[in-house]
A = this chain, B = another copy of it.
Amino acid sequence: MFQRERHPGATGVTERERRRPGKLTKRGLRVKVYQREREFRTDGGLSVRDITDEVKEAVYESGISDGVACVYSPHTTCCVRVNEFEQGFLEDFATLLRRLVPNDHYYAHDDWDRRIENICPEDMEMGNGHAHCMAMLLGTAGESIPVCDGDLSLGTWQRVLFIELDRQRERRWIVQVVGT
């Protein structure tokens, strides 16, 4: 089960804990907003692309030293997520996702005898109800990442990943950096 951690302040338990004072990195400066969009064609199936270097480049070009970068997928069957870009893990996660959201179930979204809304002719050839469900299960369309000293505050193994849950398609992602 999830153990709830005892808080040192509440219990007096000694803990190897180092506290750094926060810093008001920028005060009284003018705001900058920078946007960049990138297009590419995905491989489809379940595929993932490491876009970290491109996002970092955008942050660098923005000239923004401190703020937040919102990396966003404007698609309903893709998402941007931060995790490790390691082949074994990506296989493991694809296996998990296919087990939780099987492709061969019935999806009302793909039932063209019933569906009357948002008709997209290309989807009639190859249903994507499972890809919508996967995207919702995965969470939000994008990730917000702190920007500090002109770079993304990523941890050692963190990479920014563009995840395609649908077939091979033309896609885009947006990075919006707000800060100073």
Whether B33 lies near A26 (C-beta < 8 A) is: yes
Give the interface SS of chain A, mostly helix, strand, loop or mixed: mixed
Q: A2-B91, A20-B38 are in contact. Are A143 and B141 (CB under 8 A)?
A: yes
Would B143 and A140 count as touching, CB distance under 8 A? yes
A123 to B108, CA, bound (A): 33
State whether B68 touches A180 (Cβ < 8 A).
no
Per-position binary interface string of chain A over residues 93-120, scored 1 when its CB falls under 8 Å from any chain B CB and 0 otherwise:
1111000110000011111001101101
Residues of chain B lying within 8 A (CB to CB) of residue A5: 42-43, 47-50
Q: Does A126 contact B (CB under 8 A)?
A: no
CB–CB B22/A58 < 8 A: yes
A87 interfacial by beta-carbon distance below 8 Å = yes
Which of B41, B68, B154 contacts A176, CB < 8 Å? Answer: B68
Within 8 A of B (CB), among A131-180: 132-133, 135-148, 153-155, 157-158, 163, 170, 174-176, 178-180
Chain A: residues with CB nearer than 8 A to chain B? Answer: 1-5, 7, 15-43, 45-50, 58, 61-63, 66-68, 70, 72-76, 81-96, 100-101, 107-111, 114-115, 117-118, 120, 129, 132-133, 135-148, 153-155, 157-158, 163, 170, 174-176, 178-180
